[in-house]
């Protein structure tokens, strides 16, 4: 579960879907086993490498010689290594299959999460649109004021720092990024058509 700065609670995929949670748990289990096997494999390979060129007594001979630290016979190491390699290969194949299943369940779980936060998402987008429309109106007021200053031949830039909000585009430009954003919001149901300034429609 995650919280946004506006305290919007977004549930995790595992919280809304038992199937997704089960698959993720299985993936973690297999990955853990895979890691353990790889550690064991490296230890066996190191031990076998150290035994290359030496004659290893079998268990009975080692007992007769009193070699209590004879260790694991080379043959047993080789047999275990083959088992590990087979298990690792099977786990890797299982993980590939599991990823496909997780992808399917992720889509289903994502739909459930989106259904839970749909209203809040729409409210946020709507609030942004309202704020942008208000900002654009203030932009138009500023443009009108600057136009009036210039009509009167006032050297206003010597007293006011020019603060045109160029990031909004032209205040009446129907091809501005703001205009496109508002039209997209309308097309996708986040904003009523009559809320868009006429010059942007």
For the chain, domain boundaries = 11-200
More reliable by pLDDT, 48 or 41:
41
Q: Are 157 and 126 in contact (CB under 8 A)?
A: no
149-199: per-residue pLDDT in tens? 999 999 999 999 999 998 889 999 999 999 999 999 999 999 999 999 998
Q: For the chain, what is the mean pLDDT? A: 88
Closest CA to 185 of 199, 171, 200: 200
More reliable by pLDDT, 88 or 53:
88
User: In this model, does residue 4 exceed pLDDT 90?
Assistant: no
User: In this model, does residue 69 exceed pLDDT 60?
Assistant: no
CA angle 125, 127, 131 (to 5 degrees): 115
Average pLDDT over residues 71-77: 67
Q: What is the pLDDT of residue 70?
A: 47
Distance, in Å, from the CA atom of 22 to the CA atom of 188, rounded to the nearest integer, reads 35
Cβ contacts of residue 37 below 8 Å, gap of 6+?
A: 84, 87, 88, 91
User: In this model, does residue 67 exceed pLDDT 80?
Assistant: no
Residue 147 tokens, joined:
């136009």
Confidence of residue 64 (pLDDT cuts 50, 70, 90): low
Question: Burial of 149 by CB count in 10 Å (0-12 exposed, 13-18 middle, 19+ buried)?
Answer: middle
Q: What is the pLDDT of residue 78?
A: 84
25-41 core/surface letters (b: 16 or more CB in 10 A; e: else):
eebeebeeebeebeebb
Average pLDDT over residues 88-117: 97
pTM higher than 0.75, yes or no? no
Q: What is the pLDDT of residue 49?
A: 80
> Lowest mean pLDDT: which of 57-66, 76-85, 147-156, 176-185?
57-66
Confidence of residue 129 (pLDDT cuts 50, 70, 90): very high
């Amino acid at each position: 579960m995650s919280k946004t700065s506006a305290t919007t609670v977004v549930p995790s995929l595992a919280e809304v879907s038992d199937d997704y949670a089960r698959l993720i748990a299985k993936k973690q289990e297999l990955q853990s086993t895979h890691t353990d096997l790889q550690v064991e494999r490296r230890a066996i390979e190191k031990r076998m490498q150290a035994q290359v060129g030496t004659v290893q007594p079998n268990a009975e001979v080692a007992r007769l010689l009193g070699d209590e630290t004879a260790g694991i016979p080379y043959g047993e190491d080789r047999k275990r290594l083959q088992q590990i390699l087979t298990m690792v290969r099977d786990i890797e194949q299982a993980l590939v299959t599991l990823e496909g299943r997780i992808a399917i369940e992720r889509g289903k779980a994502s739909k459930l999460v989106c259904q839970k936060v749909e209203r809040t998402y729409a409210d946020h987008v709507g609030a942004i649109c309202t704020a942008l429309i208000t900002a654009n109106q203030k932009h138009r007021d500023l443009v009108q004021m600057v136009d009036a200053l210039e009509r009167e031949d006032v050297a206003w830039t010597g007293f006011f720092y020019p603060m045109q909000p160029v990031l909004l585009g032209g205040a009446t430009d129907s091809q501005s990024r703001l205009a496109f954003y508002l039209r997209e919001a309308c097309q996708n149901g986040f904003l009523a058509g009559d809320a868009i300034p006429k010059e942007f429609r």
